[in-house]
Structure 1
Amino acid sequence: MGTEQIRRWESGALAHAVSDPFGQGPLPWLRGSENYFDDTGHVVPWYADPALGHGSTDGGTRTADDVHRQIKGFISTGAAAPGEAIDFHVTVDPPQQFSVDIYRIGHYGGDGAAQITTSPRLAGIVQPAPLTADRTVSCHHWWQSWRLQIPTYWSIGAYVAVLTTMNGYRSHIPFTVRDDQPADLLLVLPDITWQAYNLYPEDGRTGASLYHAWDEQGCLLGEEDAAVTVSFDRPYAGAGLPLHVGHAYDFIRWAERYGYDLAYADTRDLHAGRVDPARYRGLVFPGHDEYWSVPMRRTVESARDGGTSLVFLSANTMYWQVSLSPSPSGVPDRLLTCRKRRGPGKPALWREIDRPEQQLLGIQYAGRVPDPHPLVVRNAEHWLWEATGAGEGDELDGLVAGEADRYFPRTALPEHESRILLAHSPYLDSEGVKRHQETSVYRAPSGAIVFASGTFAWSPALDRPGHVDPRIQRATANLLDRICKRD
């Protein structure tokens, strides 16, 4: 294996490039595409500025990687509540002291995050190599490095732990602080989909996701050779932040800036029955949320039927059906399984088991969008477009990107009191075939509003530098204000 081949994995930079989004430099804003490997197995930079992924050049902090494992870690729980504890499992090579800075994502005057606390200096050790079995990679045998006792006065929200070694290497661990208090809106962070894409360790040897794995020569293999089961007991690849995490952070910064009353949960909370939808006026799914279990769908359909509105701000939602199972030590919901189209048994696509996602969303996944295209406004007199300045047929530049949904006429719609399509946007797929994207809203018999943006680019248009669109900001406010029944 030549040096050239290894170098593309050294920082994890081109697949998961992050310098330091919390102080030392700007957050490297994502491109719209999920295609971070090309057909030859070479990593394609999907951050707008690939140089941002290579860490500091002035002697400051540098991004850890999955080859040298300068510092990598994970937490042994999902979301936790104030008063509970989170256990960190961290490996440091070479062994040395490290610290953990805890940040909360929010608007914070435009900074995007605020530092909440810092750990004492901690002793770092080289943890054992990850265990692998049938492409499933797990670090459940790593020793505990630190326990964070969450004070009862901490705000609920999306948090990031920033791990830094004494010699300046840095990695990240995202986590959620949740509670059961009623709120206008429950923000659901897609941790199940984040894990499905996690290729840790991205080292050219042992890492595997539900999409990729490596062969003995260090070449990247495709979906047919990828993992069937992946573990939450491992770090995220590269810099330690999941693919597409920025979509959720874009929404959070915008929503907190404008004072929306938010609660927080992970998709595993939905799965495990820890979410009571009756406590909220609406459930918001801010980012790419592709992998859903049966209990997740059951809970969300029950929410809609009980009058709780649903807001889907991405595309390709609820595409694959998955199951969750305990870790080897018996901790619930630490293993994620999706057979996709391999082996015996029923298909894993919701639409192939006669439960197409359109029956919940109102539209469903149509395909990838290789290059950004305009979102073309339809039915501009609708209340969603009110006071946005968007007129019939107006083109919102770059707002159809990454992946797109549309209405499938031969697929049954959900029961509805009213329904309307608010965009109809032509684009070219990877074969140059003309296709179209659509944005949908319907009102269920319960009175619940169900909105689906049908594009990856909606959340970034709320608060991502270079992508902000005031018309999308106002349309989203119109939607949430109606759900929250604001005057």
Structure 2
Amino acid sequence: MSRRTALGALSLSAVGFAGYQLRGQDEVLPTRPAARTGNNLIVRENKAIGSDQWPLGRDGLKGVTDDLAQIQGYASATSVTHGEPIDFHISSHIAQQCTITVYRIGHYDAVGARHLLTSEPVKVKPQKKPEPQPETGLISCDWPVTWTLDIPKTWISGLFLAVFTSQDGYRSYTPFVVRETARRSDVLMILPFTTYQAYNMWPLDGRTGKNLYKGYTADGKIGGNPERAFKVSFDRPYMQLGLPRWFDMDMSTARWAESSGYDITYATSLDLHEGRINPAHYTAIVFSGHDEYWSKEMRDCAEEAVAAGTHLAFLASNNIYFHIRLETGAEDRPSRVVTCYKEAPDPEPSDAGPTVRWRHLGKKHHKAEQRLMGVQYNGILAKPAPLVVSESKHWFWSGTGLRDSDEIPDLVAVEADGFNPSMPQPADTKQTLLASSPYVDSRNRARAMQNTSLCENYQGTLVFVAGTFHWPLALNDSDYVSPHVQRATSNLLNRMLEPRSTQ
């Protein structure tokens, strides 16, 4: 899209779509209480002493590789709640002992994590790396349980890391979430575990590994679509160190949100899928990172949230892009396999349709992601580009000191979203494009336009999309942090958390 076309779309979108009603007109709004920012469990939790002992390099500990598999493990669930057990399945390159240490990610006076417990030494030994299933490429481990953790009632909802440390000096990780879906909170943050697994190419060993993008050729090189898997399993470690690809985006968001004192709880994309989330329990739902792979159940929950008056904030880009199925795994455990055939024929499409791009489902692109979010994925960047500010007088940019056409350097990166006037748009909604940033799509060298978008429907319910990978990193990551992004995101959440009552 040319810059002129994008600016034309901006002026059109600011007017809004047919039937749109502004706030304050005779309309029954969803009831939401006053925000609990600054006086809640999260603030009290973050007064605890933090720990910086979880990263590599402490006490000479070394990282692992998939080909040697010095110490690696996976969890039996992506999220658990109080009183529920979570099992860890661990393999080592030699028979030895290891410990499992659990940390909660947060602010903790800028340290970034809190140490909660360390297990007694447990015995580990080598476990078999399974071969991919010939038809689907599925790689699923059946390693025995090494250690089980029962979640204490004193642990509040959050993003957690299990850290595996071997007797011979190696360390790896696996993440999980403690959820409290029975507790209402102002904000619910969703961790994109289905997308984590889509990118997981374990084992990255030169022979076996596959994800939903790639696999190995016969000569040990990384191939592409012909070698990729159609199904990937949660019953395996994440590749290499065990920290999923793009996990830093979610850690950055969590640390920033907790440093800001928001009343926040956490859940995963699988919780959306399995029906554990009641959107009406939250004033806003934040999708903190790269959230590309969505089942029908996940999307239904997001659409129900907007209908219930719950605001949505997508802090990255390329969200709700591929339609997936979640299938049972070993021992008939639900939602342990992510299925996505993409361009290949789907042999078992569900009632929701085949596992293709959402924009290819329904007549006239009826299910395109833009229909919910207002913008959609439109390109890949070879190198970062500046985000170019639009509508600088809007409350979103208040206090940033930015003016129209001002640039925030290197903020548009990796993948971008933009407004496409030929695709379906949210009904009864006013849209404001808060950034219009030209960039070059590395796939075809064509010029494209990134947009940061805010949609407001007739109820006053907001759907925000940052439209770039670097937005969540700019909240807290020391290599990317931007006071402009921090202030704008605070403006957004504070506006979302304004109390609403029946009129």
What TM-score do the two structures reach when normalised by structure 1?
Answer: 0.87
Matched with 1:360 is 372
Aligned equivalents of 1:475 and 1:307: distance in 2?
A: 22
Q: Match for residue 86 of structure 1?
A: 86
- Cα distance in 2, alignment partners of residues 278 and 484 from structure 1: 13
CA distance in 2, matches of 1:23, 1:347: 41
Matches within 5 A, 1:345-384: 346=354, 348-353=356-361, 354=365, 355-384=367-396
Q: Deviations over 1:202-236 (max 9, x none)?
A: 10111100011112221111023200000010000
Match of 1:459 among 448, 472, 481: 472
SS at match of 2:378: strand
1:23 paired residue among 43, 46, 52? 52
1:61 to partner: Cα distance: 0.4
1:17 aligned residue = none
- Structure 2 counterpart SS, 1:270: helix
Q: Deviations over 1:373-431 (max 9, x none)?
A: 10000000111001111111100001100100000011121013421100000112224
Q: 2:243 aligns with which of 241, 244, 248?
A: 241
Equivalence map 1:261-300=2 (5 Å): 261-300=263-302
Report the CA distance between 1:333 and its aligned residue.
Answer: 0.4
The Cα of 1:131 is off from its aligned counterpart by 4.3
The aligned residue for residue 400 of structure 1 is: 412
* Partner of residue 71, structure 1: 71
Match of 2:29 in 1: none
Q: CA RMSD in A?
A: 1.7
Q: Does 1:202 align with 2:204?
A: yes
Aligned match of 1:39: none
More divergent stretch after superposition (311-320 vs 426-435): 426-435
Map of 1:16 onto structure 2: none
Are the counterparts in 1 of residues 196 and 245 from structure 2 also a CA contact under 8 Å?
A: yes
Report the counterpart of residue 8 of structure 2 in structure 1. Answer: none
Paired residue for 1:307?
309
Distance 2:373 2:287 in 1: 12
* C-alpha separation in 1, matches of 2:355 and 2:293: 14
Show the counterpart of 1:95. Answer: 95
Gaps of 5+ in 1: 1-20, 28-54
CA change 1:200–1:344 in 2 (3 A) is closer
Give yes or no for contact 1:415–1:445 (8 Å, CA) kept in 2. Answer: no
Residue type matched to 1:74 in 2? Y
Moved more, 130-139 or 195-204: 130-139
Residue aligning to 1:33: none
Q: Is the 2:322–2:355 Cα contact (8 Å) retained in structure 1? A: no
Q: After superposition, what is the alpha-carbon deviation per residue over 1:359-378, rounded to whole angstroms, capped at 9, x for unaligned?
A: 01100000101110100000
Residue by residue, what CA displacement relative to the aligned partner does 1:259-304 show, whole Å, maximum 9, x if unpaired? 0010100000000101000000011001000000001001100110
Q: Deviation at 1:68?
A: 1.1
With CA pairs under 8 Å and 6+ residues apart, which has the higher RCO, 1 or 2? 2
Cα contact 1:423–1:439 (8 A) shared by 2: yes
Residues 347 and 142 (structure 1 numbering): CA distance in 2 closer, same or farther, change over 3 Å? Answer: closer
Aligned-residue sequence identity (percent) comes to 41
2:261 alignment counterpart: 259
Query: Paired residue for 1:224?
Result: 226
1:195–1:232 contact (8 Å) kept in structure 2? yes
Kindly state the Cα deviation for residue 448 of structure 1 after the two structures are TM-superposed.
1.2
Give 1:486 shift: 7.1
Asked if structure 2 preserves the Cα contact closer than 8 Å seen for 1:416 and 1:442, the reply is: no
* Contact map agreement 1:224 1:342 (CA 8 A) in 2: no
Aligned residues: 437
- Match of 2:306, SS state, is helix
In the alignment, the residues of structure 2 paired with residue 223 and residue 376 of structure 1 have an alpha-carbon distance, to the nearest angstrom, of 35
How much has 1:130 moved relative to structure 2? 2.2
Secondary structure at the counterpart of residue 224 of structure 1? helix
SS of residue in 2 equivalent to 1:252: helix
Counterpart residue identity of residue 233, structure 1: D
Tell me which residue corresponds to 1:126: 126
Look up the SS of the partner of 2:236 in the other structure.
coil
Alpha-carbon distance, 1:445 to partner = 2.5
The question of 1:342 aligning with 2:381 is answered no
| TM superposition shift of 1:24 | 5.2
- The answer to whether structure 1 residue 162 and structure 2 residue 163 are counterparts is yes
Kindly indicate whether the alpha-carbon contact (under 8 Å) linking 1:306 and 1:446 is maintained by their aligned counterparts in 2: no
Contact 2:52 2:112 in 1 (8 A): no
Kept in 2, the 8 Å contact 1:305–1:444? The answer is no
CA distance in 2 between partners of 1:23 and 1:107 (Å)? 11
Once the 2 structures are TM-superposed, how far is the Cα of residue 59 of structure 1 from its aligned partner?
7.4
User: Could you tell me how far apart the structure 2 residues matched to 1:168 and 1:375 are?
Assistant: 43
SS of the residue aligned with 2:377?
strand
1:178 matches 2:179: yes
Taking structure 2 as the reference length, what is the TM-score of the superposition?
0.84
Contact 2:156 2:180 in 1 (8 A): no
Spell out, residue by residue over 1:11-32, the C-alpha distance to the aligned partner (whole angstroms, 9 max, x if none): xxxxxxxxxx97358x6xxxxx
Shift of the 400–486 alpha-carbon distance from structure 1 to 2, 3 Å rule, reads farther
Deviates more, 1:347-356 or 1:299-308: 347-356
Partner of 1:38: none
The code of the aligned residue for 2:146 comes to S
Question: Structure 1 residues 388-397 or 127-136, which shifts more?
Answer: 127-136
Deviant stretches of 4+, over 3 Å: 21-25, 344-347
Does the residue aligned with 1:389 lie in a helix, a strand or coil? coil
Distance 1:321 1:330 in 2: 22
State the distance in 1 between where 2:450 and 2:234 align: 33
Q: Distance in 1 between matches of 2:78 and 2:111?
A: 26
Structure 1 residues 275 and 344, CA gap change in structure 2 (3 angstroms): closer
Asked if 1:483 is matched to 2:491, the reply is: no
Gaps of 5+ in 2: 1-49, 348-353
**C-alpha distance in 2 between matches for 1:220 and 1:231:** 20
**Cα offsets for 1:312-340 (capped at 9, x unmatched):** 00000000000011013100000110000
Kindly indicate whether the alpha-carbon contact (under 8 Å) linking 1:304 and 1:446 is maintained by their aligned counterparts in 2.
no
Where does residue 23 of structure 2 map in the other structure?
none
1:364, 1:406 within 8 Å by CA — same for their partners in 2? yes
Question: 1:471: which partner in 2?
Answer: 484
Which secondary structure state, in structure 2, belongs to the residue aligned with residue 147 of structure 1?
strand
Bigger Cα displacement from structure 2, 119-128 vs 311-320: 119-128
Tell me which structure has the larger Cα radius of gyration: 2
Give the Cα separation in 2 of the matches to 1:310 and 1:145: 39
- Tell me the CA shift for residue 446 of structure 1: 3.0
